[in-house]
Amino acid sequence: MAKITAAEVNKLRKATGAGMMDCKKALVEAEGDFDKAIDVLRKKGQKVAAKRADRESSEGAAIAKINADNTAGVSIVLGCETDFVGKNESFVSLANELAELALNYASKEEFLAADFGGMTVAEKLVEQTGVIGEKLEINAFSKLEAPYVGSYVHINKIAALVGLSSKVDKADVLAKDLAMQIASMGATTLSYKDFDPAYVASETEARIAVIEKDNEELERLGKTLKNVPKYISMSQLTPEVLAKAEEDAKAELKAEGKPEQIWDRILPGKMERFISDNTTLDKEQCLLDQNFIKDEKINVAKYVESYGDVNVTAFERVTLG
């Protein structure tokens, strides 16, 4: 039997991340052959991976990386089975190494096929499944390119990327604030202009039904009823709809006995309230239409405008689970 030295065990441990005893057993089985020992560990990983194929890898680490000139970014989620492993220092280190490598590839498929220390990323995940004893996989992969790209990661649970149309002064501050907004508020699109009309119509019907149902219970309890909006997105507020809302507001002012000469001072506030009450979908899902988390008196679009000639080109958000 080949004599296995501590140096050889340590070399294999550094190359694979496997435990000392596992490395020693692999070297013994491979009769001291380093490459064969790696194969032994890989086969062990394949066996463990096969047994755990149906497990949920809903924990892990969300990581974002930006290239040196801030023109490209990538966000990935390295998934595992338990929060304990997801917070492990070596696991997070592996996730960061993988994210750095992912910067060089345009798709998840290319990334999984990329070389990682003499094996593909996909093979590395299988190997580490054997080492850690939990299912590991890349649960999310997003790539973004723009004249300026920024990122924000929230305690390795959420990673966000944002692209700007130009590298304006303090672009780093703007990009980080926007990425934090994306991570915190979970926008799904840039603007209400991106919505499919059929989706808006379906969502309007569903939301009104929920509010009306809630109002039945509130009425039974003798409590104040919720406002039932006719619309939920700016995409529905056509010039005709806004004109009708203004007419209705004027009729209310007249009925209240307000002097006509002061209507111009009151109408803007009433119209602003009408738009606010009837654009709830936009505020939830559209980045530019959301209230800015650092100053809720303005929306994100207004905040971006404060930086001059710059627009948000795109964004990405990945999360655990």
Q: Which domains occur in the chain, in start order?
A: 6-51 (1.10.8.10), 59-187 (3.30.479.20), 193-306 (no CATH)
**So what's the pLDDT on residue 164?**
98
Give the chain's length: 321
Res. 1: pLDDT tops 60: no
**So what's the pLDDT on residue 301?**
96
Query: 17-21, 124-128, 130-134, 179-183: lowest mean pLDDT where?
Result: 17-21
**So what's the pLDDT on residue 158?**
97
Q: Are 287 and 182 in contact (CB under 8 A)?
A: yes
Q: What is the pLDDT of residues 29-48, one digit of tens each?
A: 877 888 788 777 777 766 66
Res. 9: pLDDT tops 80: no
Distance from C-alpha of 225 to C-alpha of 191, rounded to nearest angstrom: 30
> Which whole number is the average pLDDT over 157-162?
97
**So what's the pLDDT on residue 103?**
96
Half-sphere exposure of 85 (CA within 13 A, CB side): 19
Res. 125: pLDDT tops 70: yes
Q: What is the pLDDT of residues 100-109, one digit of tens each?
A: 999 999 999 9
User: How many other CB atoms are there within 10 angstroms of residue 194's CB atom?
Assistant: 12
- State how far Cα 71 lies from the chain centre: 19
Distance from C-alpha of 62 to C-alpha of 141, rounded to nearest angstrom: 10
**So what's the pLDDT on residue 48?**
65
Res. 131: pLDDT tops 90: no
What percentage of the chain carries pLDDT values higher than 70?
95
Q: What is the full DSSP assignment across 87-124?
A: T-HHHHHHHHHHHHHHTT-SSHHHHHTSEETTEEHHHH
Q: For residue 266, give both structure tokens.
A: 């009151």
What percentage of the chain carries pLDDT values higher than 90?
73
Give the N- to C-terminal CA distance of the chain in Å, as an integer. Answer: 47
Q: Which residues pair with 153 in a beta bridge?
A: 159
Res. 299: pLDDT tops 60: yes
Q: Which of 16-20, 83-87, 103-107 has the highest mean pLDDT?
A: 103-107
Q: What is the pLDDT of residues 183-213, one digit of tens each?
A: 999 999 999 999 999 999 999 999 999 999 9
**So what's the pLDDT on residue 109?**
96
Residue 34 vs residues 12, 30, 90, 132, 209: alpha-carbon distances, Å: 7, 7, 23, 21, 66
